[in-house]
Amino acid sequence: MNILSGALIGRFCLLLLCVPITTMSRCYAQSISSVWVADDGEGNYQNPVLHADYSDPDAIRVGKAYYMVASSFHCMPGLPILKSRDLVNWRLVNHAVRRLLPDTVYNFPRHGKGIWAPAIRYHYIQYFIFYPDPDYGIFMIKARDPEKKWSVPKLVLEGKGIIDPCPLWDDNGQAYLAVAWAASRAGVNSLLTIYPLSKDGSKITGEGQHVYDGHRSNHTIEGPKLYKRNGYYYIFAPAGGVSTGWQEILRSKNIYGPYEQKKFLEQGKTRNI
């Protein structure tokens, strides 16, 4: 530090000492931003419901409670869990992951890595979260109470570029896992794949099958959410990329397809369908 800069710092510190405490408190109070509340208290709400960065949210309802999870990437504690009774007022109740492995990698900031888009499901009195680490594969954790401690992450499906997992337990107890692919790691995308999954959700039990190829009309299709209703298997999935994309619904009587498709949500004004 040179003499001039030292003198300037000294004068600045002296100036702070000369400012009345009440003035400093008033200036500080004026700089505090108000907390965003979507609920107006009169039965209405305003968007955004959550004025915060909860990327890739996925939510379920169990009884009268809704639980939501989101991406947390390399930040720890990870996998935030939010709870709501009305889908408007949410509060953070837990983090499902406390540590990412391997330590040799995640003891340092790894922007863009770590936990990507997760899926939360409730099956046979247990909560499950499946999440991808795009550099290692698909992991599963579970808990009886989502607001308490979760199990140690278990690698269910190893591989680079496997992302966006979503499980489904069929009527007969057979389980499946739908995934997408990240071109940055796998060298391919625009594909949706379904794997057979053990009933306890702990491991893949067979080869996966590509059930949808979006290269022709739905490039960059990803983020599959797998459901079954009235004998049909449904896959809800975004396509077209984040900034200009749209939402597709795929439907089939067979879990492995073929799937018919329908675009049901577009940028701007959606066409009548």
Distance CA 95, CA 86 (A): 21
DSSP-based helix, strand, coil % in the chain, nearest 5? 15, 40, 50
Residue type, 7: A
Q: Is 256 left (phi over 0), alpha (psi -120 to 50) or beta?
A: alpha
Residue type, 56: D
Whole-number CA gyration radius for the chain: 23
- The CB-side HSE value for 55 (13 A sphere, CA atoms) comes to 12
Task: Give catalytic status of residue 42 as yes or no.
Answer: no
Angle at 112 between CA 114 and CA 103, to 5 degrees: 40
Distance CA 79, CA 10 (A): 46
Task: Give catalytic status of residue 147 as yes or no.
Answer: no
Distance CA 1, CA 83 (A): 51
Using alpha carbons, select from 207, 198, 192 the residue that is nearest to residue 173.
Answer: 198
Residue of 222, 248, 260, 266 marked active site: 222
Residue of 42, 56, 103, 135 marked active site: 56
Active site residues: 56, 222
